[in-house]
Structures are given as C-alpha cells and as structure tokens.
Amino acid sequence: MEKLITGTHHISLKAHGAEAFEKTIHFYHDILGLPFVRRWGEGNTAGAMLDTGNSLMEISADGDSCMESGSIRHFALATDQVDRAVELVRAAGYQITAEPADVTIPAQPPFPLRMAFCIGPCGEEIEFFQEK
C-alpha cells in the first residue's frame, strides 16, 4: 500500500475574537513555552503558528464560538515534564481534569506512560503525555 501521509502538520484552534486569541496565545506561548513560527493579521483576523516540537499549532481569532466536543476527543502534547505542565496550567487558573498519573497500557509489549489532562482556553481537552 502506498504511504500518502508523512505526519501531522498542525492542530488548528479557533479563538472567539481578538481577546480570546490573546488569551490562547498566552496559554500556549507564555505558559507552555511553544515558540512562534509566524504571526499575521490583527484583531479578529489575527493568527499565529507555534512550534510543538514535531508539528505546529495554528491559532486564529476568527472562531464563532467554542465548539462542542465532536469525534476528536482530545489532542496530546508530548512532554518530559507532565507534573510541571500541570503545575503551570493550574497556577494560571485552568481546570485540571485528570491529575498526573503513571499508567501502563496493557498492550504487547506493555506501554508505560505518565499523563494528565486539562481544559485549554478554547474549551479544548489537552493531554500532557510522557512515554516512559
């Protein structure tokens, strides 16, 4: 079979207006430390791409409102510091929905990991994920 897909290019978040855009940029850039790749526009036409390490996060200000949860349940951000990510997110006032925990998925071979979940500024569910 021909392999057409080579990876994930970006995750897209639509903030509801300029104020929500700046709050979302603050969360991903200032709190989680994702560096900018590019920025464009201003006000409700503002946008940015941030580097997640192995893909990009695109954030734009032109969202109508936070969307209800659909078929994509969450996205996972890889980290070697799950507990520190939760500490920073909690200190910034965001909801932690699952505290850091060590889990082993009973796969063959077993898959040990550390994970935690939070809700981001656009209502998105984020997993902090560390392979062990």
Please report, as a single letter, which amino acid is at residue 129.
Answer: F
Q: How far is CA 95 from CA 22, 47, 99, in A?
A: 19, 25, 10
Task: For domain 67-132, give the fold.
Answer: 2,3-Dihydroxybiphenyl 1,2-Dioxygenase; domain 1 (3.10.180)
- The whole-model pTM stands at 0.90
One CATH from 3.10.180.10, 3.40.50.620, 3.30.413.10, 3.40.50.150 for 1-65: 3.10.180.10
What tens digit of pLDDT does each residue of 63-116 get? 776 556 566 789 999 999 999 999 999 999 999 999 999 999 999 999 999 999
Q: How far is CA 79 from CA 2, 43, 84, 129, 130, in A?
A: 31, 32, 10, 6, 5
| CA Rg value for the chain | 16
Task: Name the residue ranges covered by the structural domains of the chain.
Answer: 1-65, 67-132
Handedness of CA 84, 24, 52, 41 (dihedral sign): negative
What tens digit of pLDDT does each residue of 26-71 get? 999 999 999 999 999 999 999 999 999 999 999 999 877 655 656 6
